[in-house]
């Protein structure tokens, strides 16, 4: 299903969007990838959503990516005798391992790993940062704190520890079970929560065994500090602005977002901007102007995808939310300023033959009357490198592997076509020309650029480029063999 935009849309599925009719409608409205939130729903419920997505994909003959988002370790306080307490600024409050019910002076924090990492002066944030505690004294089983920002604290509210790297693995026992389940089910991307270090990603890669691509969620200050190392071992990145905005001053998040998006693009790895993009559309059919500007900013920055969470999972207007994102994207991408920003942020560093080939393809397409860049790809690398160039013409990614096509559903500008195996470049050119015409990107009188790697079926071997006429009579006349 051809889109009239290059940025991709990720829509989270939930109670408001778990039927065949709604998932089909969301895809038609613009959702390219569906997110399955492993924090909610049983394995059977996840299996059913997966089945419906694949059914929609088959019936519409349109490639759809599936992203499974692992929960990660959840740090929460215990319960209170009265269900909640009011914490006053300046008061002292104790966190400990005592499982008894809490009161206005203390509560259980059943995570000894936190106490092991804390130091005096560290901050603890409760309930998405609404309450801030400063550690005065701590030991192996307690932390005596001062209330810096007060408020109501209630049962099992989440705790963030922004100042230290916690000795916790990114994968809990639940995550390991979920990872194996969704990999066997056949998802295309795994989103890893609570990533603090590159080793967290490496551990997940060993467990995934190549069955899904790995996307690291950047939601902790430690992940920002070690971002280059995390990016190197990840297949993609999600800028998860929710927890990031809790653990860091909110004014720090926009420049971090811009910096991470640019680094991902330079590395030719997809990046999603997520959280609270159209939050008001959970209850309203219209977004705020600020939300529209936020979505537009992510697109102007060059993000591969923008994501809806509760808006599509539990909101009253999921289709309207996807449609709004689609409309914003289309409007931004025809703005001449968008082209100026994208092209001015293009890095000129070239390290490999493949880099040079895709850069040349983009240059040829933009300086002559070329209708599309057609790239043959096994692993998806050639398509990702081409997308990094952000060409002004459509990118057609041709691959014999449906899994590669589904993973590329997350990448900027890629229009995926499943093709048969080819063993000669001439066959590749003919397949590319036919795909460009059949998919409506070109007509008989047009030309396309075709890139591929010879020998075929060797990932990362892009080394050949040709400008081909879409009139097959001219094509065969030029190359009768």
Q: What is 353-478's CATH topology? A: Pyruvate Kinase; Chain: A, domain 1 (3.40.1380)
Q: Which of 280, 247, 305 is nearest to 122 (CA)?
A: 247
176 assigned to active site: no
Catalytic residue among 49, 205, 217, 466: 217
Cβ atoms of 421 and 431 closer than 8 Å? no
Pairing of β 92-96 and β 142-149: antiparallel
Catalytic site residue 466? no
Give the Cα separation of 131 and 147 in Å (integer): 8
Q: Dig out the tokens for 114 from the structure.
A: 């936190």
Please give the average per-residue pLDDT across 421-425, as a whole number. Answer: 81
Which of 5, 8, 35, 205 does the annotation list as catalytic? 35
Separation CA 91–CA 102 (nearest Å): 15
Q: How high is the pLDDT of residue 479?
A: 62
pTM of the model: 0.93
CA separation, residue 419 to residues 242, 243, 376, 399, 463 (Å)? 40, 41, 9, 6, 20
Asked if the model's pLDDT at residue 443 lies above 80, the reply is: yes
Burial class (CB within 10 angstroms; exposed 0-12, middle 13-18, buried 19+) of 229? middle
pLDDT at 427: 86
DSSP state of 129: T
Beta-carbon contacts of residue 182 (< 8 Å; ≥ 6 apart): 36, 38, 46, 50, 68, 190, 212
Tell me: the pLDDT tens digits for 70-124?
999 989 999 999 999 999 999 999 999 999 999 999 999 999 999 999 999 999 9
- Which residues are 36's β-sheet partners? 13, 68
Q: Is 217 a catalytic residue?
A: yes
Give 8-73+170-335's CATH code, choosing from 3.40.50.970, 3.20.20.60, 3.40.190.10, 3.40.50.720. 3.20.20.60
Q: What confidence tens digit (pLDDT) does each residue in 288-319 have?
A: 999 999 999 999 999 999 999 999 999 999 99
Collapsing DSSP to helix, strand or coil, 272 comes out as: strand
Choose, from 76, 263, 346, 427, the residue flagged as catalytic: 76
Q: Read off the pLDDT band of 350 (50, 70, 90).
A: low
Residue 158: C-alpha distances to residues 73, 243, 256, 273, 314 (Å):
11, 11, 24, 23, 21
DSSP annotation of 88: P
CA distances from 353 to 77, 348, 350 (A): 54, 14, 8
SS3 helix, strand, coil % of the chain, rounded to 5?
Answer: 40, 25, 35
76 in catalytic set: yes
**Is a pLDDT exceeding 60 seen at residue 481?**
no
Distance separating alpha carbons of residues 275 and 238, to the nearest angstrom: 10
Cα–Cα distance measured from residue 316 to residue 197, given in angstroms and rounded to the nearest whole number: 38
What are the tens digits of pLDDT across the range 226-276?
999 999 999 999 999 988 999 999 999 999 999 999 999 999 999 999 999
Given this model, what pLDDT does residue 182 score?
98
- Residue in 286, 283, 292 with CA at minimum distance from that of residue 311: 283
User: Using CA atoms, how far apart are residues 463 and 109, in angstroms rounded to an integer?
Assistant: 57
> How far apart are the C-alpha atoms of 361 and 467, rounded to whole Å?
9
Nearest to 72 by CA among 203, 225, 234, 227: 203
Distances (CA, A) of 338 to 333, 343, 392: 6, 8, 11
User: In which element (H, E) is residue 467 found?
Assistant: strand 462-469
Q: What is the DSSP string of 144-174?
A: EEEEEE-EEEETT-BEE-TTS--S--S--HH
- 385-419 pLDDT, tens digit per residue, is 999 999 999 999 999 999 999 999 999 999 999 99
Task: Give CB contacts under 8 A, 24+ apart, made by 326-330.
Answer: 326/3, 326/5, 326/9, 326/29, 326/30, 328/292, 328/295, 328/296, 328/299, 329/5, 329/6, 329/7, 329/9, 329/295, 329/299, 330/4, 330/5
d(C-alpha 77, C-alpha 83), whole Å: 12
pLDDT for the residue 170: 87
The pLDDT value recorded for residue 349 is 66
Structure tokens at 269: 């790895």
Domain ranges in the chain are 8-73+170-335, 84-160, 353-478
User: For 119-168, how does the pLDDT look when each residue is reduced to its tens digit (9 = 90+)?
Assistant: 999 999 999 899 999 999 999 999 999 999 999 999 999 999 998 888 88
Structure tokens at 35: 């997110």
In order of 458, 461, 477, the CA distances from 455 in angstroms are 7, 8, 24
Which residue has 């988002």 as its token pair? 69
Average pLDDT over residues 202-216: 97
CATH 2.40.33.10 fits 84-160, yes or no: yes
Is the per-residue pLDDT at 478 higher than 70? no
């Amino acid at each position: 299903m051809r889109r009239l935009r290059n940025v991709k849309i990720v829509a989270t599925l939930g109670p408001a969007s778990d039927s065949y009719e709604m998932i089909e409608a969301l895809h038609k409205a613009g959702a390219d990838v569906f997110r399955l939130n492993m924090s909610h729903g049983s394995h059977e419920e996840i299996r059913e959503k997966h089945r419906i997505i694949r059914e929609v994909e088959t019936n519409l003959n349109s490639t759809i990516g599936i992203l499974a988002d692992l929960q990660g370790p959840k740090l929460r306080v215990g319960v209170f005798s009265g269900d909640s307490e009011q914490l006053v600024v300046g008061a002292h409050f104790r966190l400990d391992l005592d499982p008894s019910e809490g009161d206005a002076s203390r509560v259980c924090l059943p995570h000894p790993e936190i106490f092991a990492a804390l130091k005096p002066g560290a901050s603890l944030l409760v309930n998405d940062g609404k309450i801030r505690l400063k550690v005065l004294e701590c030991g192996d089983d307690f932390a005596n704190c001062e209330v810096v920002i007060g408020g109501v604290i209630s049962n099992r509210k989440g705790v963030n520890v922004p100042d230290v790297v916690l000795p916790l693995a990114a994968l809990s026992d639940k995550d390991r079970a979920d990872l194996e389940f969704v990999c066997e089910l056949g998802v295309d991307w795994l989103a890893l929560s609570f990533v603090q270090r590159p080793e967290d990603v490496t551990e997940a890669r060993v467990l995934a065994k190549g069955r899904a691509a790995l996307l690291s969620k950047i939601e902790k200050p430690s992940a920002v500090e070690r971002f280059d190392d995390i990016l190197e071992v990840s297949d993609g990145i999600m800028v998860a602005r929710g927890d990031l905005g809790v653990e860091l001053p909110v004014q720090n998040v926009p420049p971090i977002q811009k910096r991470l998006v640019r680094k991902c693009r330079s590395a030719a790895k997809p990046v999603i901007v997520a959280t609270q993009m159209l939050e008001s559309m959970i209850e309203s059919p219209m977004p705020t102007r600020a939300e529209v500007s936020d979505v537009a900013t992510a697109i102007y920055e060059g993000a591969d995808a923008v994501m809806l969470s509760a808006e599509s999972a539990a909101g009253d207007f999921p289709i309207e939310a996807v449609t709004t994102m689609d409309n914003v994207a289309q409007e931004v991408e025809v703005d001449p300023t968008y082209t100026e920003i994208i092209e001015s942020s293009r890095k000129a560093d070239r390290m490999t033959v493949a880099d040079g080939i895709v850069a040349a393809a983009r240059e040829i397409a933009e300086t002559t009357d070329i209708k599309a860049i057609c790239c043959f790809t096994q692993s998806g690398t050639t398509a990702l490198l081409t997308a990094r160039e952000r060409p002004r013409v459509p990118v057609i990614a041709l691959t014999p592997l449906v899994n590669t096509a589904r993973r590329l559903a997350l990448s900027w500008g890629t229009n995926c076509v499943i093709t048969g195996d080819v063993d000669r470049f001439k066959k590749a050119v003919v397949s590319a020309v036919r795909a460009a015409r059949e998919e409506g990107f070109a007509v008989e009188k047009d030309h396309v650029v075709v890139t591929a790697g010879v020998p075929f079926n060797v990932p990362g071997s892009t080394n050949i480029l040709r400008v081909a006429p879409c009139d097959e009579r001219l094509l065969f006349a030029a190359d009768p063999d």
